[in-house]
Structure 1
Amino acid sequence: MSKSGALDLATGVGGKIKKEDVQSAVEQYEKYHVCFGGGEETRKANYSDMVNKYYDLATSFYEFGWGESFHFAPRWKGESLRESIKRHEHFLALQLGLKPGMKVLDVGCGIGGPLREIARFSSTSITGLNNNEYQISRGRELNRAAGSCESCNFVKADFMKMPFPDNSFDGIYAIEATCHAPDAVGSYKEIYRVLKPGQHFAAYEWCMTDHFDPDNESHQKTKAEIELGNGLPDIRTTKQCLDALKLAGFEVISERDLAVDSPVSWYLPLDTSRFSITSFRLTSFGRFITRTMVKTLEFAGIAPAGSNRVSSFLEKAAEGLVEGGRKEIFTPMYFFLVRKPLSES
């Protein structure tokens, strides 16, 4: 079961980082980003440390506010956030044509919410790849609670250097994960290497859209806020993403921004001008309660020093995401389905 209580949140901040070291980890993480004087090349050179610190610090907040699946989804009117997230996961499984007996890889699997849902939906065996020890330990706990240990497993590794032989998997997907890669071509080449010839890779990618203007100061500020609040070295454009897939050797079957035709805006759960009972913790008042609770627990010594700073940069990220969505300069759901050719030319 997902951790949802105040004490779960408080004691989870920092992940595998020693509680007395959390504040210093927050400071080190912040210094990677533009808002604190950091630069893109430094983030790329230290991507593994930056992303690991991010997920150690942020995972308990994600689980508290969002549940076990840390991603957005296009949404129909009258559909709950949870329903839309499940449908988004099922769509990926259907696009890949997953069938019982297939061996599948989830690249950057988080705590395994999508992995468990897709394994149940498709009756496949799924391996979750993740380089964060805390998320893997949480994922294993949740697998045991869900009775999914036989169909779902985890491997701790960097997706830029996967510990699998060539041509290992019948299908591969990534949900808002390869955006953490310092080099898109490099990450896609690794996925290409471990995918069997003739099989497919599908993903939802975080991208700047064609509306993004790199010379617009407001656009750059929004981009920097999203990078800070989400552990990103950089955010590629949809065109850069597509070009990287082709350079890696993939044949593009289909690609589109699913945010464009979504009847309900993907960023609605983060929009503090709206109120929701079902997503109360994400509303303005819900965030105020969480912020006050974290401050109180940190003051009492239950939550580690630095917890409130994590809460602050995550709120800043939410503001950036909403702004990016409203301006239509950012999407968290650039979808593509690509194929590894049967024979390499």
Structure 2
Amino acid sequence: MLKPPPASSIPPLPLAGRRLTPRRPLSRELFAANGMSRTGALDLASGVGGKITKDEVKSAVDDYEKYHGYYGGKEEARKSNYTDMVNKYYDLATSFYEYGWGESFHFAHRWNGESLRESIKRHEHFLALQLGLKPGMKVLDVGCGIGGPLREIAKFSLTSVTGLNNNEYQISRGKELNRVAGVSGTCDFVKADFMKMPFSDNTFDAVYAIEATCHAPDPVGCYKEIYRVLKPGQCFAVYEWCITDHYDPNNATHKKIKDEIELGNGLPDIRSTQQCLQAVKDAGFEVIWDKDLADDSPVPWYLPLDPSRFSLSSFRLTTVGRTLTRTMVKALEYVGLAPQGSERVSNFLEKAAEGLVEGGKKELFTPMYFFLVRKPLSE
């Protein structure tokens, strides 16, 4: 297997220039320029529940929590009901994500002196460069969220990108953001399960996934679908959420951290790096290279959530910012502007943040196990 050059020898990639979208108030332009698309607590509150009716949010939270080990749920139930579980999760959590993270819901390898938003854009550009994207190529984003990476990669590489997503609310948000960004002609969305994609064999010139296929109940089955729709000789690149070799399933503290991450992120189970690598091989791919990019990130990936750190540029992700968000959500729920159950969503997302920070500090978990693989020219 080919190995990449050490990350320390690779200079940061140049960042694409930001541009403000016309015909919007200046406050929204500044917000968008920083990668944020939710302007305030009322926007957050109005989005909680997604396509779930507001009077059904509380029961959706009840159902979601029943799936999870943190509340006594079983892994088998999460895997067999993953479509319902993941859809409920993203209906409940998307407005919180967008409020805190902007349009790209993922972590990033980060250099000293680099802002969180800059690192996120470079992380997306890195993926495009590894895939060798060129103008005119037809690309698939598996589990695209509201399309932040999709829009960035399409503009960076001048490709056409299709986002696959099974959550109706996220697709509706993504289409609106595509319209605002002016990329509706080259970027689109398809609502479907990535375990059963509605595409013909050998459709795409490249496929990528960013912290998304961790939701799959069966990684081999998911990777086989990606293999099927990818053209022979072309590549698939992914950032996977994984537990590392430091994780001990018999350690109660380790298990608690894993449960918190699964609860707060809609995961049926977190697989190890070796399980993911074996799964992609079992699906038929040739491995070009793989690496946990968290290993040599100059700035820890979990820093935005670390309670010991404070930042004005990503204030909403800090402990103080998250505390203020919970307080606002609680108040808005009390006066009826946010649906009942909103505070509980905020609480399990806070549990996730705690688990992610502890998992990162103890090196038990990584959100950026990267691998680049190729579909053979002849099968």
TM range (shorter): over 0.9
Matched, 1:279 2:314: yes
Report the more deviating stretch, 211-220 or 177-186: 211-220
**Aligned residue in 2 for 1:307:** 342
Per-residue deviation, 1:170: 0.1
Q: Distance in 2 between matches of 1:324 and 1:181?
A: 21
Q: How does 1:123-134 map to 2 (within 5 A)?
A: 123-134=158-169
Matched, 1:151 2:151: no
Residue identity opposite 2:220 in structure 1: V
Query: What do residues 208-253 of structure 1 show as CA deviations (whole Å, max 9, x unaligned)?
Result: 0111111111111100000000000000000000000000000000
Q: How does 1:1-345 map to 2 (within 5 A)?
A: 1=32, 2-344=37-379
Q: Distance in 2 between matches of 1:283 and 1:105?
A: 33
Q: Secondary structure at the match of 2:221?
A: helix
Per-residue deviation, 1:68: 0.2
Q: Distance in 2 between matches of 1:264 and 1:337?
A: 23
Q: Secondary structure at the match of 2:346?
A: helix
Over the residues paired in the alignment, what is the CA RMSD in angstroms? 0.5
Query: What do residues 20-63 of structure 1 show as CA deviations (whole Å, max 9, x unaligned)?
Result: 00000001000100111101000000000000000000000000
- Scaled by the length of structure 1, the TM-score of the pair is 0.99
Residue identity opposite 1:343 in structure 2: S
Per-residue deviation, 1:3: 1.6
Per-residue deviation, 1:83: 0.1
1:255, 1:334 within 8 Å by CA — same for their partners in 2? Answer: yes
1:202, 1:337 within 8 Å by CA — same for their partners in 2? Answer: yes
Q: Distance in 1 between matches of 2:70 and 2:324?
A: 26
Residue identity opposite 2:358 in structure 1: E
Query: What do residues 168-221 of structure 1 show as CA deviations (whole Å, max 9, x unaligned)?
Result: 000000000000000000000000000000000000000001111111111111
- Scaled by the length of structure 2, the TM-score of the pair is 0.90
Q: Distance in 1 between matches of 2:363 and 2:97?
A: 24
Residue identity opposite 2:142 in structure 1: V
Q: Distance in 1 between matches of 2:317 and 2:275?
A: 32
Residue identity opposite 2:346 in structure 1: S
Q: Secondary structure at the match of 2:97?
A: helix
Q: Distance in 1 between matches of 2:136 and 2:301?
A: 33
Residue identity opposite 2:238 in structure 1: A
Structure 1 residue ranges (4+ consecutive) displaced by more than 6 angstroms after TM superposition: none
Number of residues of Structure 1 aligned to a counterpart in Structure 2 = 344
Query: What do residues 245-270 of structure 1 show as CA deviations (whole Å, max 9, x unaligned)?
Result: 00000000000000000000000000
Structure 1: segments with no counterpart, 5+ residues: none
Structure 2: segments with no counterpart, 5+ residues: 1-31
Q: Distance in 1 between matches of 2:78 and 2:131?
A: 32
